Amino acid sequence: MTRSHAVQAVLLIAALALPAWAGPYWVHVGAIAWYYALLASSWALLAGYAGQFSFAHVAFAALGGYASALLSLHFGIPPGIGVVAGIVLAMVAGALIGWLVLRLTGPYLALFTLALSEIFRLMLVAEQQLTRGSLGLQVPGWFGGESDRPYYYFGLSLLVAALLLMAGLLRTRVGLFLRAIRDDEGAARAAGVNTTLYKILVFVVTSGLAGLAGTYYGPFVGILTPSMVILPEMGLVIAMAVIGGIESLPGAAVGAVIVYGLSELTREYGQWRFVLLGLALILVQRFAQNGIFAVLERPLLRPPAVEAERGRG
Amino acid sequence: MDEAEFFAADGLSKHFGGIIAVDGLSISLSRGELVGLIGPNGSGKTTTINMVAGALRPDEGTIRLRGVTMTGSPAHVFARGGVARTFQVPRLFRRMTVLENLIVPALSNPAARRAEAERRAGEVLSFLRLEHLTRSLARALSGGQQKLLELGRALMLRPSLLLLDEPFAGVHPQLLAQIMEHIGSLNAGGHTIIVVDHNIDAIRSLVRRTVVMAQGRKIADGPSEDVLRDPAVIRAYTGARDAH
């Protein structure tokens, strides 16, 4: 067992125990934090592991959320089927965008996906008859009662399942190929890797998980608005992943919980809390480039696979 | 299949806008041949290698390996078909370990298993005398070690045709000798190899057959000693340098 596993186990136990001692407010905050943790960790897979720096991730969350809600509201489809449909739609859109951006890298990919995200946001605003535009789409809840605990535990379950799914994927040859593509796509092709297939695959998987996050968020908050697709929301998800550790799935999730928790703790400071967030980002980049979680997860029992001795030549 | 045409590129041309990088190049290799491809800067050597490896699609011409037409296929199909390459400047998976760099090409074959890939990687590392660096990150290696690792990554594809793009460029003389020794023993083991380089002395001592390119065209092809004495080849090297 590595220190990383021990840290993850402790964090999971703490998360499970939180509702027993924290008040309803923090249970509510925690339930929203799971939404961001799902987004940050799946974006870490897309950007940190596969090197696809997309700005459309929150758009996939909105797509999943809106699709699921609209199917329930307009066609009376049961929520479970609506969730599946929302996820599938996000995956199909992810495949399409993954195909569209095959030849784009770096800032070109970022700008292209940012433009797509903005187009989608404007469509949500413009299609008032369907989405109620900026007023927001009322979404019926899944669980009865006043307590947020069912959402808290459901959201935590989704996050754990998503992390296990992504970790499982990374343990296969797919994970190896994604990292190879990130490091040098041309060299990966020369090594026999079908980069087209795996780039589209990672967009499909991460878009599906973002869609899942959206389908969870709507019923919990009770309303979906186009503001969930604005650039600062995407910036927040990126900051969460970077602060936690962009090359660590649990790290990105922890980053989301820390950033969202701190933003709630500092709510009384208004806009200044975003200045604090910026400072935190700068400090992490300066002193812990691999994120806060990497500091904790250095293996205890295994030697690190890093900078080794230089030989001849 | 005609053994004289184990590999054949016929009438390859590549234009970049108004610039003709390669103009009607034809070259064929028999199985187990070791060929040097030389030429001044801008003569089209690397563009040729990129086309032969599937990284660039030729505007005209065909590429056949073991009788199978490969023209127009993506690079990963060339790689899985047995065409492996190295780059002028090593292009490793820098944030991955030496072992991971090696097993990527092996696992690109869907039928391959990880244990077998790691065993094969161990053999390649032993051949290249890099086994002490198995768990090092690729970015931590010296320039020479990176060249060797890239060669190893190419070997993990069990290539039918090995394309080495400037393997001697910028390496320490001691490492140069080691790389030459590796290339020689790979060829002795049956590998068909094309070596692109500017180091005329190394090419002369390593290969029996040399192909020379200038301005996108093949200007000489034959036994190395004859080719390197060819006045057209000497002129191609701007006349400022005597190829002898």
> Residue B78 is which amino acid?
F
Give the tokens for residue B115: 């244990």
d(CA A234, CA A205): 18
Closest chain B residue to the Cα of A247, Cα to Cα: B95
Closest chain B residue to the Cα of A191, Cα to Cα: B105
- The answer to whether the CB atoms of A313 and B114 lie below 8 A apart is no
Mark residue A304 as left, alpha or beta (left: phi above 0; alpha: psi -120 to 50; beta: remaining): beta
Min distance B207 CA to chain A CA atoms (Å): 23
pLDDT attached to residue B242:
47
pLDDT attached to residue B36:
93
Report yes or no: A195 at the B interface, CB cutoff 8 Å: yes
pLDDT attached to residue A250:
93
* Minimum-distance CB partner of B79 among A183, A192, A309: A192
Give the tokens for residue A215: 């389908």
Among B91, B114, B151, B179, the residue to mutate for chain A (most A Cβ within 10 A): B91
> Which of 294-313 (A) contact B at CB < 8 A?
303, 305-313
Q: Per CATH, which fold does B3-236 belong to?
A: Rossmann fold (3.40.50)
d(CA B124, CA B129): 8
* Minimum-distance CB partner of B104 among A186, A193, A194: A193
**A76: Cβ contacts below 8 Å, ≥ 6 apart:** none
Using alpha carbons, select from B112, A100, A58 the residue that is nearest to residue B121. Answer: B112
- B87 contacts B123 by C-beta, under 8 angstroms: no
Read off the pLDDT of residues A153-194 as tens digits, 9 standing for 90 and up: 999 999 999 999 999 999 999 999 999 999 999 999 999 999
Q: Transcribe A58-115 into DSSP letters.
A: HHHHHHHHHHHHHHHHHH---HHHHHHHHHHHHHHHHHHHHHHTTT--HHHHHHHHHH
Using alpha carbons, select from B188, B191, B181 the residue that is nearest to residue B84. Answer: B191
* Minimum-distance CB partner of A310 among B92, B108, B142: B142
pLDDT attached to residue A309:
41
Report yes or no: A103 at the B interface, CB cutoff 8 Å: no
Using alpha carbons, select from B75, B153, B147 the residue that is nearest to residue B107. Answer: B153
> Which residue, chain included where needed, has tokens 């609209």?
A70
- The answer to whether the CB atoms of B95 and A183 lie below 8 A apart is yes
Min distance A188 CA to chain B CA atoms (Å): 8
d(CA B159, CA B78): 10
Rounded (10°) CA dihedral A156, A257, A40, A299:
-90
Among A183, A195, A198, A246, the residue to mutate for chain B (most B Cβ within 10 A): A183
* For helices B114-127 and B143-155, angle between their N-to-C axes, nearest 10 degrees: 130
Query: Coil, strand, or helix at residue A163?
Result: helix
Read off the pLDDT of residues A29-79 as tens digits, 9 standing for 90 and up: 999 999 999 999 999 999 999 999 999 999 999 999 999 999 998 888 998
Instruction: Please report, for chain A, the start and end positions of each structural domain, with discontinuous segments joined by +.
Output: 3-15+24-296
pLDDT attached to residue B236:
79
Report yes or no: B170 at the A interface, CB cutoff 8 Å: no
* Residues with pLDDT less than 70, chain B: 1-4, 238-244
Closest chain B residue to the Cα of A308, Cα to Cα: B136
Q: Exposed, middle or buried by CB within 10 Å (0-12, 13-18, 19+), for A145? A: exposed
Report yes or no: B137 at the A interface, CB cutoff 8 Å: yes
Read off the pLDDT of residues A187-241 as tens digits, 9 standing for 90 and up: 999 999 999 999 999 999 999 999 999 999 999 999 999 999 999 999 999 999 9
pTM of the model: 0.89
- B173 contacts B13 by C-beta, under 8 angstroms: no
Residues of B in contact with A246 (CB under 8 A): none
Closest chain A residue to the Cα of B90, Cα to Cα: A187
Residues of B in contact with A49 (CB under 8 A): none
* Minimum-distance CB partner of A308 among B95, B133, B143: B133
Separation of CA B172 from chain center: 20
pLDDT attached to residue A311:
37
Band (pLDDT 50/70/90 cuts) for residue A143 is: confident
Report yes or no: A146 at the B interface, CB cutoff 8 Å: no
- The answer to whether the CB atoms of B145 and A311 lie below 8 A apart is yes
- B213 contacts B43 by C-beta, under 8 angstroms: yes
d(CA A147, CA A145): 6
Using alpha carbons, select from B8, B26, B20 the residue that is nearest to residue B218. Answer: B26
Min distance B115 CA to chain A CA atoms (Å): 12
Match domain A3-15+24-296 to its CATH number in 1.20.120, 1.10.3470, 3.30.420, 3.40.50. 1.10.3470
**CA A91 vs CA A114, A184, A266, B122, B230: distances in Å:** 18, 25, 36, 39, 61
d(CA B151, CA B153): 5
Min distance A259 CA to chain B CA atoms (Å): 27
> Which residue, chain included where needed, has tokens 């784009």?
A104
- A102 contacts A194 by C-beta, under 8 angstroms: no
Give the tokens for residue A188: 């990966």
pLDDT attached to residue A25:
93
pLDDT attached to residue A305:
52
pLDDT attached to residue B237:
75
- The answer to whether the CB atoms of B132 and A311 lie below 8 A apart is yes
d(CA A306, CA B98): 10
Mark residue B72 as left, alpha or beta (left: phi above 0; alpha: psi -120 to 50; beta: remaining): left
